[in-house]
Amino acid sequence: IERTFSGVYTNNEITKIGDYAFAGLGNNITGINAPNVESVGEYAFRGCGNVQSINMPKVKTIGVNAFGYSVYTTMPKCVTNNTFPLLESCGDGSAIFGYMFDGELLYLPNMKEGLQIAGLTADGPKYINLPEFVDQYAGRRRMFGGNKVIQKVWLPKVANIQYKDFNGCTAFVALILAK
């Protein structure tokens, strides 16, 4: 039996995509249209490396590795500052805000906690502005550690820089903590 599956399209009643919901579908998912989804669970789209469009304007929370463990080098650039305009918390952003991000400035005006764009990301934003970001999740390390393209980061409300948060950021030139 040949299975054809091109995308995730939700109706207006769906507000959450649960953990592992579409994990393992590989390159079968090319589009996500979920206009009323507010929460994306852990590993929800794990391994979906062919996503070319995302429409999730109401998402406030993205779980750990929700878009992770894909073939990062081939992932289309389909995430912009307008993809998740209400985002407040993100378990890991290495895929969606690293490899999938299209642009030089990542601006997430409502992001408060949990972002991580670590690893040997050779692509993604050069500048990051998180005006409401307060802190990482307890125990998280390497917020940007090992990232090869980030040059400047604005975190005016952050009180703590943690272990290896910027370790190995070879292009890094400035961290702006105060307004």
Q: Is the pLDDT of residue 138 over 50?
A: yes
Summarised one tens digit per residue, pLDDT across range 49-58 is 788 888 999 9
Q: Is the pLDDT of residue 2 over 60?
A: no
How far, in Å, are 5, 21, 28, 163 from residue 2 at the CA level?
10, 21, 12, 48
Q: Is the pLDDT of residue 68 over 80?
A: no
Q: Which residue carries 């990051």 as its tokens?
A: 128
Distance separating alpha carbons of residues 26 and 71, to the nearest angstrom: 9
Q: Is the pLDDT of residue 128 over 80?
A: yes
pLDDT at 41: 93
Q: Is the pLDDT of residue 71 over 70?
A: no
Q: Is the pLDDT of residue 136 over 70?
A: no
Please state, for a pLDDT cut of 70, what percent of the chain lies above it: 83
Q: What's the chain's average pLDDT? A: 81
Please state, for a pLDDT cut of 90, what percent of the chain lies above it: 23
Sheet containing 7-9, strands listed edge to edge, beginning at the edge strand earlier in sequence? 7-9, 31-33, 53-55
Tell me which DSSP letter residue 70 carries: S
